Structure 1
Amino acid sequence: MPELPEVTYYKKYVDATALHQEIVAVHVDDPKIAQASEKDFKEALLQQKLEKSLRHGKYVLLTLSNNKILIFHFGMSGSFEYLKHDELPKYAYFTLIFSDNSRLCFTCPRKFGKVFLAESIEAFKKEHNLGIDAMDLDFNTFKNLLSGKKGSIKGALLDQHLIAGIGNMYADEMLFQTKIHPKTSIDKLSESTIKALFKSMHPVLKTVINSQSQDEPLPKDYLTPHRKPDAPCPNGNGKVEKIKVSGRSTYFCPECQKEK
C-alpha cells in the first residue's frame, strides 16, 4: 500500500505534469472509486485548473481554480499516469483530460483507491478525522498523542486518526531502527524510548523518499528490503520473523527487538 513516501512521489509527479492545466473533460469509469457522481465531478472540475497540491498523510489534495478540492487516496495499488496520447492504461478508472489533449489517469488495479470532492482541505480532514501529518509532528505532540493510549505501539503508528501517513512497512522500519518489539504496549514505553522512536520517524521517511526519488537502494541496515520470513537480519542478528499485530503482517528481528 502506498504510504507517505510513495504519496510524496505522486504529489511531485502531479506537480511536474498536470499542474496549471485546464480540465476540458472528466471520465469516471468506476463508481466504487469515485466518491461523488460523475455529474458532480464535471460540475466542479470542467474549465478549472489544478492550481496547487498538498500531501496530507496518504492523500494527495489538489486545489482547483474555483477553490474546490480534488482528493486522491491510493488504496492498495493506486497511482497516477500522465499521458500525451489517447490510449488509456488498462486500470484507468478516473481520468482528467486537459486542453492540450494530455491526460492524468488514476489507475487502481485492485480498486481500493478513492477519489473525493471537498469544499476545503480542513473540512475534508475534519470529516475523515485525519490525524496530524507524520512530517509535521514534534516530540511533545507525539508524546501527547500516545499518552493514556493502550494497545501495541505498532497499532498506534498505523492509526491514521492519530498520525497520518505511516503505514505497515515504515512502521516496521521505525520500530526496527529503535529496537522496539512491535507488540510492545504503549504504556510500557519509557519517555526515552518514545523519544528514540520519534527521532527515527522523520529520518526513516526522508531516507525512503530520497531513495525513491533518486532510484537508489535503502541503507544496508534497513529492514524494509528484508521483509520476508527467515530473511537475514540486516544487523547480522539472526533471522526476520513475520507475525500479526493489529491485524497486519509485521516483520521484525526477535534478536534486535526483544519482547518485554
Structure 2
Amino acid sequence: MPELPEMETYRKMLTDRIAGARIVGTEVTREKSINLSAEAFDSELTGRTVWFVERRGKYLLFHLDNGKRLVLHLMLGGLLFFGNEEERPDRTVQVTIQFEEGSLYFIGLRLGFLHLLSVKEADAKLSELGPDPFDKRLTASAFAARFKKKRGAIKTSLIDQHVVSGIGNCYADEMLFAAGIRPDTKIPLLAESDWERLHEAMHKVLVEGIERGGYMELPFTAGDTLTGGYNDHCAVYDRPNEPCRVCGTPIVQIELSSRKAFYCPSCQKEI
C-alpha cells in the first residue's frame, strides 16, 4: 500500500503537470471507485480547473476551482500514471481524468477510491487522521505523547493512522531499524531516549523515501526514473533471511496483528 513517501512523490509530480490545468473530460469504467454516477462525475469535473494538489497522510486532495475536492486513497494495489493511451501500463484503469496535455489514469482502484466532496465533507472524512510526521508541532515529546495510552507492540501503533498519519508497514519497519528498536517491543518499555531516536529516525527515513521516489513498482510517466527508487534501499522490509546491511545477521520476519514485520535481531535488541 502506498505510504507517505509514495503519495508525496505523486503530489510533487502531479503539481508539475496538472496544477492550473483544466479538465476536458473523464472516463469511468468502475463506478464503485467513485461516489457519483459516471455521468454526474463527468458533468461535475469537465471544465473545472485543478488549483493544486495536497497530501494528508496517505490521501491526496485535488483542489478544484469551484471549491470542491477530489479525495483519493489508493489503498492496496492502486497507482497513478500520467500520459496517453500508448504510454500507459497494461493495467486495468478504473478512472481517467483527461487534460489538454495528457490524461491521469487511476489504476488498480479495487479497494481504493476517488470521491468528489465539498470542503466540509472532505474535512469530516479526514478529521480522525493523526498529525503528519512533518508537522512542526509534533516534537519528540509530542510524538511520544501520542502513544501514551497504548500498551501493545510499537509497530502496531506506528501504522495506526489515528496516531500519526502516513506511516505504513514498510516505513515503520525501516524507521524502527534506524532507531534500533524491535517492532514487537511493548510501548510501555520504551524510554525517553528511545522515543527521541524513533522521532529522529521517522524524519530521516521518510525524507530518504521521498528523495528516492518511494517504492512504487511502476513509473508515474514515460521516462520517469525517480518513482520506485527506494525499493533497493530497504534495510529490513521484505528481506527475510537476507543479511543485514549493517552487521550481516539474517533478517527475521514475524507477524504482528496479522501483519508482517521485519527486523535485525542484532541491531534491534530485545528490551
TM-score (norm 1): 0.89
User: Does the Cα contact within 8 Å between 1:44 and 1:68 map onto a contact in 2?
Assistant: no
- CA separation in 2, counterparts of 1:220 and 1:140? 32
Cα distance, 1:54 vs structure 2: 0.6
Is 1:21 aligned with 2:21? yes
- CA separation in 1, counterparts of 2:246 and 2:48? 52
Cα distance, 1:94 vs structure 2: 0.6
SS class of match (1:159):
coil
Is 1:76 aligned with 2:79? no
Partner of 2:218: none
SS class of match (1:133):
coil
- CA separation in 2, counterparts of 1:71 and 1:12? 16
User: Does the Cα contact within 8 Å between 2:247 and 2:266 map onto a contact in 1?
Assistant: no
User: Does the Cα contact within 8 Å between 1:10 and 1:79 map onto a contact in 2?
Assistant: no
Is 1:6 aligned with 2:18? no
Partner of 1:135: 134
Cα distance, 1:245 vs structure 2: 1.2
Q: 2:243 aligns with which of 215, 232, 241?
A: 232
* Aligned 1:167-182 pairs, distance under 5 A: 167-182=168-183
- CA separation in 1, counterparts of 2:42 and 2:169? 35
Partner of 1:204: 205
Q: Percent identity?
A: 32
Is 1:49 aligned with 2:49? yes
- CA separation in 2, counterparts of 1:247 and 1:91? 28
User: Does the Cα contact within 8 Å between 2:61 and 2:71 map onto a contact in 1?
Assistant: yes
Encode CA deviations 1:117-153: one digit per residue, 9 max, x unaligned: 2212x74243242111122132232122111222111
Structure 2 unmatched ranges of 5 or more: 215-224
Cα distance, 1:102 vs structure 2: 2.5
Is 1:253 aligned with 2:264? yes
User: Does the Cα contact within 8 Å between 2:26 and 2:98 map onto a contact in 1?
Assistant: yes
Encode CA deviations 1:39-86: one digit per residue, 9 max, x unaligned: 442343121011111111111111000010001111122222122457
Encode CA deviations 1:78-122: one digit per residue, 9 max, x unaligned: 222122457865311111112x262111111x72221112212x7
- CA separation in 2, counterparts of 1:134 and 1:36? 33
* Aligned 1:187-198 pairs, distance under 5 A: 187-198=188-199
Structure 1 unmatched ranges of 5 or more: none
Inter-CA distance 28–55: structure 2 relative to 1 (3 Å threshold): same
Q: In structure 2, what residue type is equivalent to 1:81?
A: F
Partner of 2:217: none
- Coordinate RMSD, CA, aligned: 2.5
Count, aligned residues: 256
Q: Which moved more, 1:37-46 or 1:213-222?
A: 213-222
- CA separation in 1, counterparts of 2:17 and 2:146? 37
SS class of match (1:94):
strand
Encode CA deviations 1:192-235: one digit per residue, 9 max, x unaligned: 111110111111100111122874966998514x6322100111
- CA separation in 2, counterparts of 1:251 and 1:87? 36
- CA separation in 1, counterparts of 2:2 and 2:230? 17
Cα distance, 1:236 vs structure 2: 1.4
Q: In structure 1, what residue type is equivalent to 2:269?
A: K
- CA separation in 2, counterparts of 1:32 and 1:253? 42
- CA separation in 2, counterparts of 1:243 and 1:113? 27
SS class of match (2:31):
coil
Cα distance, 1:179 vs structure 2: 1.1
Q: In structure 2, what residue type is equivalent to 1:62?
A: F
Partner of 2:111: 112
- CA separation in 2, counterparts of 1:160 and 1:102? 33
Partner of 1:95: 96
SS class of match (2:242):
coil
Q: In structure 1, what residue type is equivalent to 2:125?
A: E
Runs of at least 4 residues of structure 1 off by over 6 A?
A: none
Partner of 1:183: 184
